[in-house]
Amino acid sequence: MLILLAASLSRRKLLIAISAVVLVGGLLITLTRPARRNLILITLDTTRADRLGCYGHSNALTPVLDGLAEKGVLFERAYAPVPLTLPSHASMFTGLYPPEHGVRNNGQGALPESLPTLTTELRQQGYDTAAFVAAFVLDRKFGLNRGFQTYSDDLSQADDSQHGHHRYRAGRIVMDSAISWINRRDDAPYFCWIHLFDPHFPYLLHEDVFGDQFADRPYDAELAYVDQQLGRLMAALEDAGELESTTIVIVGDHGESLGDHGERAHGMTLYESVMRVPLIVVSPGQATGGLRVADPVSLVDLCPTLLDCLLDKSLPDISGRSLRPALRGEILPPKDCYAETDEPYQTARWSPLRALITSEFKYVRSTQPELYKLQSDREELNNLAAAELKITQEMEEQLNRLEQGMRQRVAQNVLLTERERTALASLGYAAPGQDSGAGEMVLRDVKEMLPYYNMLNDATEMMDAGRYDLAEPVLRSVIAADDNFFLAHGDLGRCLLRLEKTEEAIVQLRRNVELDPGADRVRALLGAALLMSSNYAEAVAELETTIRLNSELYESRYNLGLALEKLGRTDEAVEQYRSCLRMVPYFTPAQQRLEALKLR
């Protein structure tokens, strides 16, 4: 969702002008240039367009967003380039599609330092800059901090008791920090980015605010809560007299399936529910209030639009375009939108998806291609790919040409601690692993495999609840459907260990490692299982590989010490125990083993 609020003057601050006195024909002429507008960018995680009142959702409670929409231009078909948080934000800040900036998944690379961004451009022009992000997925190590003087990504205030391991700061906390920063500004123009993660799963009812109003609609409750936070910001700006001198942008990074097409959340498909996000522009003097634009636009258009509106500047060699003409009521020339997701392949070695969206059709490239006529089939229920072969082929050719025109880049390597890997996993995102080299495999289509992906998640919840007996048959059914689904093998191995079926667990864990050699935590579990089954030499080999992949797994160092002891390699065992204690000084089992060895 994108909202842009802009005007010319501030009621709190004096209008700053750059003046020059010029002598022309004996007359003194004073030239003035108005002060630059401030910019506030608010990105709403996991916000789909059709769940807001201004986009037709009759049960929504979003009066602040709806009120802004009434004052400005509403884009009916704005598309995220990817249904994932980090790469979508990277596209917003650069004007580039994921293949062009190289960040194609969460937690698997940082934005290349060579790329200019919205922030670096504004900072070069004298803007004060600050960011307040809510979740680790946008941590500074992923590269979006460049150009920001303040980058607030401290999750120490995250509410663990309420969200378990889902580490993010509530919108109230993020907004408090942002408002405090804004209130301390002086006369320099500023850019403030505020990221709100609340609409992301798990959804809270916020009963302390709404009672039982959203008892059966928790996602809508989160959007209502976010709307209230936006209301606080608008009130603060109005009290400070800065609404008219500030450009305010609100944008959703992607949507949420909520069960549509069998997907519960986002990342695995490219349907409208996860790709279409709201875009609203309120800009007195620049935009026609009440205008609705039906043409498809992309979030890569955000950066060039803002640079055009604020600096009258453009960036070379980007895919995005400025939407400023549309704010004036001019017709946008047709331009296709690109979208992608590699999440099916990263998660399960299923076929990645690529899409092309035109004013009339959406084409999705996959093992089983899809073609939808969106104006008459908004829910994408009638796949025309087989019936309209000519159009399908033409769309594939257009998509090919678009891809060939992209200058592809690779994201910078980023090192994650074990805690950070856990943080990503807790938010539902895969931490970086190693490609299995399964390029020769025939990749399954995600449409037919989503039911088994959901079964895997159900089994994980069963295991989290201690019901390993219920999870085992579910996981075996998933593997029967797709023996290459490496995550299912790993989860079944973990389940079988809890059920004390160690030898069977080893078989499943070996299969996971065979399919995904970089799965360090699975290797750690396999090493532990081999130790339990008295396969000490194999345990040593597996645990040494685990530590090479991830040196921060102190439990693996301890287990390696135990295996080395069993093989009579005491000096090496002592070194592993000491290494373990250097990482975790009060790890009692390692202390006890060292004491026991001293007594020998």
* CATH for 544: 1.25.40.10
Torsion of CA 226, 229, 233, 236, to 10 degrees: 160
- The answer to whether residue 430 is domain-embedded is no
The token pair at 101 is 């900036």
Do residue 384 and residue 470 come from a single domain? no
Residue 392 DSSP SS3: helix
Domains contained in the chain, number: 2
Q: Give the integer Cα–Cα distance in Å for 469 and 111.
A: 44
Do residue 469 and residue 578 come from a single domain? yes
- The answer to whether residue 566 is domain-embedded is yes
The token pair at 484 is 């290459």
276, β-bridge pairs: 79
The token pair at 594 is 């060292």
The token pair at 406 is 């992209």
CATH code for the domain in which residue 116 is found: 3.40.720.10
- The answer to whether residue 406 is domain-embedded is no
Residue at a domain's end among 400, 432, 462: 400
Do residue 108 and residue 248 come from a single domain? yes
Do residue 477 and residue 391 come from a single domain? no
pLDDT score at 15: 39
Asked if 173 and 20 touch (Cβ cutoff 8 Å), the reply is no
pLDDT score at 103: 96
Buried b (16+ CB within 10 A) or exposed e, 84-96: bbbbbbbbbbbbb
Residue at a domain's end among 400, 435, 457: 400
Residues in the chain: 600
- Asked, as a colleague might, if the bond just before 517 is cis with ω within 30 of 0, I would say no
Do residue 465 and residue 331 come from a single domain? no
Q: Which of 44, 353, 380, 105 is nearest to 228 (CA)?
A: 44
Q: Which of 290, 199, 326 is nearest to 252 (CA)?
A: 199
Q: Which of 529, 436, 61, 48 is nearest to 263 (CA)?
A: 48
Task: Please give, one letter per residue, the 3-state secondary structure of 246-279.
Answer: EEEEEEECCCCCCCHHHCCCCCCCCCHHHHEEEE
Torsion of CA 340, 90, 171, 232, to 10 degrees: -110
- The answer to whether residue 234 is domain-embedded is yes
Do residue 289 and residue 203 come from a single domain? yes
pLDDT score at 223: 98
- The answer to whether residue 419 is domain-embedded is no
Q: Angle, nearest 10°, between helix axes 588-598 and 570-583?
A: 150
Do residue 338 and residue 469 come from a single domain? no
Q: Give the integer Cα–Cα distance in Å for 6 and 38.
A: 9
Beta-carbon contacts of 140 under 8 Å, excluding residues fewer than 6 positions away, are 151, 153
Long-range own/partner contacts, residues 89-92 (CB < 8 A, 24 or more apart): 89/43, 89/138, 89/144, 89/195, 89/253, 90/143, 90/144, 91/298, 91/299, 91/300, 91/320, 92/43, 92/118, 92/251, 92/253, 92/299, 92/300, 92/302, 92/303
pLDDT tens digits, one per residue of 462-498: 999 999 999 999 999 999 999 999 999 999 999 999 9
Q: Which of 409, 432, 582 is nearest to 561 (CA)?
A: 582
Residues of the chain with pLDDT under 70: 1-35, 159-166, 284-287, 413-441, 599-600
The token pair at 465 is 């609840």
- The answer to whether residue 385 is domain-embedded is yes
What phi, psi does 6 have (nearest 5°)? -150, 150
Do residue 471 and residue 565 come from a single domain? yes
- The answer to whether residue 7 is domain-embedded is yes
Residue 58 DSSP SS3: coil
pLDDT score at 289: 82
Residue at a domain's end among 338, 371, 400: 400
pLDDT score at 34: 56
- The answer to whether residue 429 is domain-embedded is no
pLDDT score at 37: 87
Q: Give the integer Cα–Cα distance in Å for 479 and 481.
A: 5
Number of alpha carbons in the 13 Å side-chain half-sphere of residue 461: 7
Asked if 32 and 17 touch (Cβ cutoff 8 Å), the reply is yes
Do residue 198 and residue 130 come from a single domain? yes
Specify the amino acid at residue 316. Answer: P
Q: Give the integer Cα–Cα distance in Å for 393 and 402.
A: 14
- Name the one residue in this structure whose structure tokens are 């603060």: 236
Do residue 391 and residue 465 come from a single domain? no
Do residue 339 and residue 471 come from a single domain? no
What is the domain extent for residue 506? 445-598
Buried b (16+ CB within 10 A) or exposed e, 381-413: eebbbeeeeebbeebbeebeebbeeeeebebbe
Asked if 271 and 62 touch (Cβ cutoff 8 Å), the reply is no
Do residue 358 and residue 489 come from a single domain? no
